[in-house]
Amino acid sequence: MNEPFRRRRIRIGALTVALATLFVVAAARLAVIVLIDGPRLAEIARSEHTAVMTLAPVRGPIVDRNGAALALSAETRSIYARPRRLLRHSTAAARARLADALGLSGAELDARLNRGEPFVWLARHLPPARAQSVAELGLDGVGAIGEYKRYYPESNLAASVVGLAGMDGQGLSGVELQYDRLVRGQPVELEFYHDALGHPILDSPLALRAPAPGARLQLTIDSSIQAAAENYLAAEVAKSGARRGTAIVLEPFTGEVLALANAAGAKAGARLHDTAIQDAFEPGSTMKGLLGSIALADHVIEPSRMIYCEDGQWRFAGRLIHDDDRHGWMNLGGIIEVSSNIGAAKIALALGARRFGEGMAAFGLGHRTGIDLPGEAAGIIRPFAGWKPIELADHGFGQGVAVTPIQLAVAYAAIANGGMLMRPYVVQAAYDSAGDQILSHQPQAIRRVIPPAVAHQMNLLLRNVVNGKDGTARLAQVADFTVAGKTGTAQMVNPATGGYYHGRLVASFVGFVPADDPRLVILVVLYDVAHGHFGGLYAAPVFSEIAATALDRLGVAPPQAPPSYDTASLLPFGADDAPAPAAPEIADSPRTLAPDEGGGIPDFSGASLRDALALARARGLTLEIKGHGYVVAQAPAPGGSGGESEVRLTLADDPAAVFGARVPQRAHRTRREFRSASRYQRRVRR
């Protein structure tokens, strides 16, 4: 083979190998592109021709119990810019016109456009007319997006309950935050095709779905009662020089919050902070109503037992406990009426740390109530095992412990409704855009705190605080209605020293009305008032004004005659303490009557008037009633002739007249509690 031919074959072979190698590499690369990089590259290709826009839903309205709007959403336009494009395709004069249309200075607009960011907001939530003036400028790089802005038609009414929604539609406080997932609705991401310049292609086949509107929340708040509470509270805060104040109006049998008002000098944080549930204070003498209830329920004291109040000064454990006046021997009613610290301290010591601590916990102090609002505080109550005797004595008149206003209101609601602790709530129901109910809150009984007879007795004793000749809350009286309640005045804690300010007080009053048939529990707290600004002088009048307005709003008519019975021991719960949808039944009452099979006169002794009336109707008898409370005497006697058609009943207020010298024992008491109660009783007798 000649040399030229051999070299030609070598070149042909080398070229063949090279081409084959290139073919293999190309095939391998193609395989990588198709099999490995294919999905990623396809996504990049799609992204070059499609865009995504999030359509925000309209936030659902919030209304009061009667449908009055407290929060609504309005459609607005938000203006944005693509800074590079705008700067490249506009003149300084055009940008000056843009700044003027947006209400910005030229320097402010330039600062936003020169941040180096690819996207900037120029203005949010503009009215449509103003946004249209921006659009008419026709500037390349400027666009608009439709958004919804939250506004509150009643301004700051119920601000701390309703709360606040942020710029981007998210809940920040109040029910706006608590129920944000319901109220904000469901946003929709819209995909659409666009050309190389980013202009949407109108015949895009991608589907457009409208975002689902948020749910409508119906609150338990009554706007008129809320407005009255806010106005009267704000006036008293200004008059008394208080730094801030709180008022709560509660329905005792259901836990519904009819009003929750906060007043302060500055309005800036009205929607972000809720003093009524997020701040704790020392309750002062309002604790005495709870202390008396716990002591009565545990049989440590009886209403008639006399306690020596040391003529107004008592040195105990190296500390001086004093009253505002000199008092000698007094029973529980007198101690509560004149608000004796010494008497309360002695009852607390007789009760003991364990039982008093457990009693406060049963009333919900030191624990969150479970109200459906964010940020609730638990209060401050140290474990009772570590209480020193002087601390136990101080706790008896509300010093050394801290509670939230909602805790104290709920605790007194338990006295008003006959002994049941109810969970408070502010949202009644929620409805979707079609009007279908998707959430409903019903009254929830947490537990029985005290027996009905004890609640009845405490109801009577608390009336003397308002109506007694030595009562500390005569300014809490409401025309034509009977009021029961308790004042409180406590020194403010100095956080720097851990001690107390001498001239800075918290003045409060908590009570319920009408005491004969409680419809409202109202708490008023004034924070940081000067020395001498007692709860009975400053908080009690606010209670009276709010109560008068609320009773009128609810259509509660004053009794035409003195009440013939007291309903503090009547609850819509059965013996197992579970809510009953049927007509109210008497729980743990002195006696439950039922018609017997015989035809004689039944035994009415120990019955409430309601039970007696029911039995009389069942037997076809006519009753002649004298007094109120429980039946202590009747004529004719039980078992009389069936021919009798009229029975004369004598009723008495004092449960001791029915139960002897003792009130009924608390339901479900443990054996250890029985032994402890006996030891406490012996200590009191000594």
Please pick, among 73, 160, 240, 285, the residue that the annotation labels catalytic. Answer: 285
Structure tokens at 160: 């701390």
Distance, CA of 361 to CA of 554 (rounded, Å): 32
Residue 489 and residue 531 in contact, taking contact as beta carbons nearer than 8 Å: no
SS (H, E, C) 565-629: CCCCCCEEECCCCCECCCCCECCCCCCCCCCCCCCCCCCCCCCEHHHHHHHHHHHCCEEEEECCC
Residue type, 2: N
Alpha carbons within 13 A on the beta-carbon side of 361: 10
Q: Rounded to whole angstroms, what are the CA distances from 581 to 251, 320, 410, 442, 618?
A: 17, 52, 22, 11, 22
The residues near 305 (Cβ < 8 Å, ≥ 6 apart) are: 331, 332, 684
Q: Is the peptide bond before 602 cis (omega within 30 degrees of 0)?
A: no
173 is an active site residue: no
DSSP H/E element including 487: strand 484-493
For 41, phi then psi, to 5°, come to -70, -35
Q: Rounded to whole angstroms, what are the CA distances from 311 to 322, 341, 472?
A: 9, 12, 18
Residue 85 and residue 144 in contact, taking contact as beta carbons nearer than 8 Å: no
Structure tokens at 37: 């990089």
Cβ-based neighbour number of residue 98 at 10 Å = 22
- Which residues partner with 403 through β-bridges? 281
Distance, CA of 527 to CA of 535 (rounded, Å): 11
Distance, CA of 273 to CA of 246 (rounded, Å): 12
- Which residues partner with 256 through β-bridges? 425
Distance, CA of 34 to CA of 594 (rounded, Å): 87
Structure tokens at 250: 């509660």
Residue 120 and residue 81 in contact, taking contact as beta carbons nearer than 8 Å: yes
Distance, CA of 356 to CA of 295 (rounded, Å): 8
Give the end-to-end CA distance of the chain in Å, rounded to a whole number: 138
DSSP H/E element including 500: strand 500-513
DSSP H/E element including 453: helix 452-467
- Which residues partner with 651 through β-bridges? 631
> Any idea which residues carry the catalytic annotation?
285
